[in-house]
Amino acid sequence: MSKVSLEINGKKISKEIPDHTTLSIFLRDILNLTGTHVGCDTSQCGACVVHVDGKSIKSCTALAADLDGSKITTIEGLTTNGKMHPMQEAFKKLHGLQCGFCTPGMVMSAIDLLKNKKNPSDTEIRDWLEGNICRCTGYQNIVAAVKEAASKM
């Protein structure tokens, strides 16, 4: 067991957890933050992407103990006073989702892209979303949504 202290969506949290607890399990099973999804569980699909100290990572492939002291933002942490983040708004408006399974990861990954590149091209968006797999949309509307969000952010 290890004691882990993290700041999650602005809230400080300390817990005693088994050493092999991944961040995805910590979020979903211990904190009940089930907005972060787990698809492949082996770092291929990107459904579990969250931000750690401002950078996107796959939470299924990081030990919570390894991230002790970090600041974490999950999909639940994007809304302010009940208002959706511009990226969420754009996904909703342009149908950037169907079943919604990949969406939390897509949104978190896309926000990280816009931190580094304010107005990405289609190719840059597709390149960046390399690690996020969507089984439903065919990606077209996801790319459109990221562009729309870029114009609003």
Partner 1 sequence: MKTFNYHSVKDVKEASKLSSSKSAFLAGGMTTIPSMKLGLANYKDIINIKGIKKLSGIKVSGKTVTIGSTTRHAEVANSKEIKKAIPSLSALAEGIGDPQVRNRGTIGGSIANNDPAADYPSACIALNAVIHTNNRKIDAEKFFRGMFETSLKSGEIIESIEFAIPQKSSYQKYPNPASRYAIVGVYVAKHKSGVNVAVTGAKSCVYNDKNLSDILSKNFSADAINNTKISASGMNSDIHASADYRANMVKVFAKKAVEAC
Tell me which residues in 29-48 interact with ligand FAD (CB under 6 A): 43-44
- Percent helix / strand / coil, the chain, rounded to 5: 40, 20, 40
Choices 10-18, 63-71, 82-90, 96-104 (CB under 6 A): range interacting with ligand FES: 96-104
Q: What does 66 interact with, of partner 1, ligand FES, ligand FAD, none (CB < 5 to 8 A by kind)?
A: partner 1
Q: From CA 134, how far away is CA 136, in angstroms rounded?
A: 6
Tell me which residues in 21-40 interact with partner 1 (CB under 8 A): 22
Q: What does 136 interact with, of ligand FAD, partner 1, ligand FES, none (CB < 5 to 8 A by kind)?
A: ligand FES
Give me the least distance between CB of 118 and ligand FES, in Å please: 25
Q: From CA 118, how far away is CA 26, in angstroms rounded?
A: 32
Q: Which of 48, 50, 110, 146 binds ligand FES (CB under 6 A)?
A: 48
Q: Which residue has the tokens 């708004």?
A: 89
Non-local (6+) Cβ contacts of 120 within 8 A are 113, 114, 128, 146, 147, 150
